Amino acid sequence: MNMNKYLDVAPEVAEALAAGKPVVALESTIISHGMPYPKNVETALNVEKVIRENGAVPATIAIIGGRLKAGLSEAEIEYLGKTGQDVTKVSRRDLPVIVSKKMDGATTVATTMIIAAMAGIKVFATGGIGGVHRGAEKTMDISADLEELSMTPVMVVCAGAKAILDLGLTLEYLETKGVPVIGYGTEELPAFYSRKSGFGVDYRLDTPKELAAAFHAKLELGMQGGMLVTNPIPEQYAMPEDVINKAIDQAVAESVEQGIHGKATTPFLLARVAELTGGDSLESNIQLVYNNARIAAQTAVELSNMNA
């Protein structure tokens, strides 16, 4: 257990980790920047419930008053949800300043991985990871999530990279960095809102036990970095590709026109896509997060059995 002086591990999470029980990390950007209040709080609490129902302990991660938190209380989740966009979105580069100034922060995939690893949590469920943005050959806009996956030993279960990205370049980047991209029950990279992208994954694995065995082997080999598990959105919540792609293309064009860049890009695009799809994309987003939480919890259970 890392006794980092900036880290607070919630009692329930600390107990589970000490006993070798399964724990699943959750990020907080989805609460403050991913959805409107009160939908964000309701979703966050439901995700924790899904993890418990599947035999693991949830650890929602955030920064409150400069303290790195692994496991939040209901009141803290409510606070992040209500404060919304006013909470700083924190990636790796932001951590030192946010901590030293004792500020609040909602953690991205990258920062959630850092804090999870510090606490000793191996499995993390999220919606979609960041990646290489469209037009990155000019802007160099590449999410720090990809870099973190190459360095930090946490398995990330997601519904693929966010569909607003350049998926082909995102896969190329992950390959260069040596990050295994696993399709859960699929040979094709899911594209967040839809189950297909036209791009292949590195390996298809079909059960939580196989996922846990692969990650266990990676840890035992002493290899740096994490593993990306891409889990397709359930069929009944998937959006028609033409509908979602049209909305994404329009949102991307508008973001370019309005000169939106850097960490403002993803929240802008996701909110705009939700508007253009009449809120259907928000509902899809919520369902895919629950689905990822389920698989992550089942995998964490198998992983803890292997370490027992």
Task: Tell me the chain's radius of gyration from C-alpha atoms.
Answer: 18
**For residues 57-78, b (16+ Cβ closer than 10 Å) or e, as one string?**
bbbbbbbbeeebbbbbeeebbb
Q: Contact at 8 Å (CB) between 133 and 170?
A: no
27 assigned to active site: yes
Report the alpha-carbon distance of residue 154 to residue 66 in Å, rounded. 23
Q: Cα–chain-centroid distance for residue 136?
A: 21
Locate 21 and state its tokens.
Answer: 């029980």
89 assigned to active site: no
Out of 89, 162, 263, 302, pick the active-site residue. 162
Q: Contact at 8 Å (CB) between 173 and 131?
A: yes
Out of 27, 76, 78, 148, pick the active-site residue. 27
Q: Contact at 8 Å (CB) between 149 and 174?
A: yes
Q: Active-site residues: which are they?
A: 27, 162
